[in-house]
Amino acid sequence: MGQRGVIDFSYANETDSMHLNLSIKENLILDSVPTSLIKDNEVNLSEFINNIKNPDLVKLLSQLGDLNRPVSSLCPRFLKLTSLVKALLSKREMIFLVDPHKNLIKEDIVLLKRCLFFESIENHRKVYIQSIDTNCWLDVANKIITRDEYLNFEEKSNPFLETPQFDNLKLVA
Give, rounded to a whole angstrom, the gap between the first and last alpha carbons of the chain. 19
Q: What is the pLDDT of residue 166?
A: 61
Residues of the chain with pLDDT under 50: 37
- Is position 92 within any domain? yes
Query: What is the total count of domains within the chain?
Result: 1
Q: Cβ contacts of residue 68 below 8 Å, gap of 6+? A: 23, 24, 25
- Is position 152 within any domain? yes
Distance CA 38, CA 5 (A): 26
40-72 pLDDT per residue, tens: 555 577 777 888 999 999 999 999 999 999 999
Q: Are 124 and 168 in contact (CB under 8 A)?
A: yes
- Is position 4 within any domain? no
Q: What is the pLDDT of residue 169?
A: 75
Q: What is the pLDDT of residue 9?
A: 53
Q: What is the pLDDT of residue 96?
A: 86
- Is position 1 within any domain? no
C-alpha distance from residue 136 to each of 33, 72, 100, 153, 156 (Å): 30, 28, 10, 21, 18
Q: What is the pLDDT of residue 151?
A: 85
- Is position 129 within any domain? yes
Predicted structure pTM score: 0.83
Give the closest residue to 113 by CA, choosing from 53, 33, 59: 59
Q: Cβ contacts of residue 24 below 8 Å, gap of 6+? A: 64, 66, 67, 68, 69, 71, 74, 82
Q: Are 42 and 28 in contact (CB under 8 A)?
A: no
Which CATH number does the domain housing residue 103 bear? 3.40.50.300
Q: What is the pLDDT of residue 100?
A: 92
C-alpha distance from residue 13 to each of 26, 69, 102, 115, 121 (Å): 18, 19, 9, 17, 23
- Is position 3 within any domain? no
Give residue 20's domain range. Answer: 9-172
Q: What is the pLDDT of residue 76?
A: 94
Q: Are 82 and 13 in contact (CB under 8 A)?
A: no
- Is position 2 within any domain? no
Q: What is the pLDDT of residue 31?
A: 67
Q: What is the pLDDT of residue 79?
A: 93
